[in-house]
Amino acid sequence: MAATRPHFTSSPRPYTHSLRLTFTYQGSELRLSGVERVAMLSLAPVGRPPEEGQSGYWIQVRSSEGQVVYHRPLHDPMRTTVEVFGDAPGQPMRRVTNANPVGEFEVLVPDLPEASDFALYGPTPGAKPGAHSEQLVRHSFDELRRMATNLPERE
């Protein structure tokens, strides 16, 4: 049977590059340590943008008018808890608070022409599980583009 309609629609991409943001953290200190502009598309947004009072981690890109133009959930990027084995053989594994989380993680955000601000949301360090998320980091896209180590010509 010949297909008369494609099973997907094709629409022009509004961008061709993304920004790879590298964050480092130690304890409750979180900082942006690197920005790289790469020729690739970011993952598509999943579901509706998070709302006020929600818990968890996510990234968000807003336009200069304050409209959310991109968002993605993240899975505990700062490893505030770790999984450990039970004390005796046969006991179940459990999650415990990581007393001094140290590490780095990367996120990829589209370098959209209308992008104005980037923000990372999550629970504040030491917050109880399920606590409401707050803005942990915010940077303007102008600042991110200036920080980029390999900024090619914009399309």
Residue 155: per-residue pLDDT = 46
Q: Percent of the chain at pLDDT above 90?
A: 51
User: Could you tell me the pTM of the whole model?
Assistant: 0.80
Q: How many structural domains are present in the chain?
A: 1
Whether residue 2 lies inside any domain: the answer is no
- 95: domain CATH number? 2.60.40
Residue 143: in which H helix or E strand, if any?
helix 141-147
Whether residue 136 lies inside any domain: the answer is yes
Whether residue 117 lies inside any domain: the answer is yes
Q: What range defines the domain where residue 96 resides?
A: 18-147
Count of alpha carbons within 13 Å of 13, Cβ hemisphere only?
Answer: 14
64-113, pLDDT tens digit by residue?
Answer: 999 999 999 998 898 877 888 888 888 899 888 888 889 999 999 999 99
Residue 31: per-residue pLDDT = 94
Whether residue 82 lies inside any domain: the answer is yes
- Integer CA distances (angstroms), 113 to 13, 14, 110, in order: 11, 8, 9
Is there a contact between 77 and 57 (Cβ–Cβ < 8 Å)?
A: yes
> What percent of the chain is helix, strand and coil (3-state, nearest 5)?
5, 40, 55
Whether residue 46 lies inside any domain: the answer is yes
